[in-house]
Amino acid sequence: MPAFALLTSAALAGCEDALSAVHPAGPAAAAISRLWWVLLVGATLIFGFVMALIALAWRRPAGTGDERRFVIGLGLAFPLTVLAALLAYALVLGERLLPRPGPDVVTVRAEASQWIWRFGYPDAEGRATENVLHIPAATPVDVEITTTDVVHSFWVPRLAGKLDAVPGHVNVLRIETDGPGEFAGLGSEYNGPGYAGHRFTVIAHAPEDWAAFLAGDLP
């Protein structure tokens, strides 16, 4: 177990923080990161438990013990309990991540195409940006995602999960930051030779800078 933890830490150290889902910078991403760690630790414990059972069975003489109880208890009850717990946890987490209306929610638009992201701002009609999404910091933001051509996928790993941009349809993703800063985003759906460069940046502004952006005083 210590060796596994050491190898895992070394592997994660090589990840690029800007695109790392295990370096969250907002509440939604933090919930997803916790889920990732729960699955990793749980899978590790289950793997160790199964290996111990295999070792026990290998060393045990044939015909000893109650094989029926072993099969029912560990072959059926154990995995069903684990799967039920994981399903309940995932349903609760998914419910928490759904966008909900509220007085402080800001809405922006994200339109994908090959190979650019265009962003619009209903609170500042006429304002539009390309490959740079401006949002207020520490405020829930609903991103209305669509596309002009093929299926793309909107993903800012440090802020939330990914959501597809589907032609003729609008999907809504809730993102929120812990504070001001810049966060890397990308189109995470392979759809042609320009896919590798289909990236964008999210800039989260402090309240005074967000007001200046809406007023047109910031580019």
| Cβ count within 10 A of residue 205 | 20
The pLDDT value recorded for residue 70 is 67
Inter-residue contact 169 to 194 (CB < 8 Å):
no
pTM to 2 decimal places: 0.79
Low-confidence spans in the chain with pLDDT less than 70: 1-16, 60-71, 73
The pLDDT value recorded for residue 67 is 64
The pLDDT value recorded for residue 60 is 67
The pLDDT value recorded for residue 65 is 58
The pLDDT value recorded for residue 1 is 46
Secondary structure tally for the chain: helices H, strands E:
5, 10
- CATH of region 1-59+99-214: 2.60.40.420
pLDDT per residue as tens digits for the range 77-118: 877 888 888 888 888 888 888 888 888 899 999 999 999 999
- Is residue 101 exposed (0-12), middle (13-18) or buried (19+ Cβ within 10 Å)? exposed
The pLDDT value recorded for residue 149 is 92
The pLDDT value recorded for residue 170 is 97
Alpha-carbon gap, residue 55 to 151, rounded angstroms: 48
The pLDDT value recorded for residue 35 is 87
Domains of the chain, by residue range, sit at 1-59+99-214
Q: Give a three-class secondary structure readout of 7-28.
A: HHHHHHHCCCHHHCCCCCCCHH
Structure tokens at 64: 């000893």
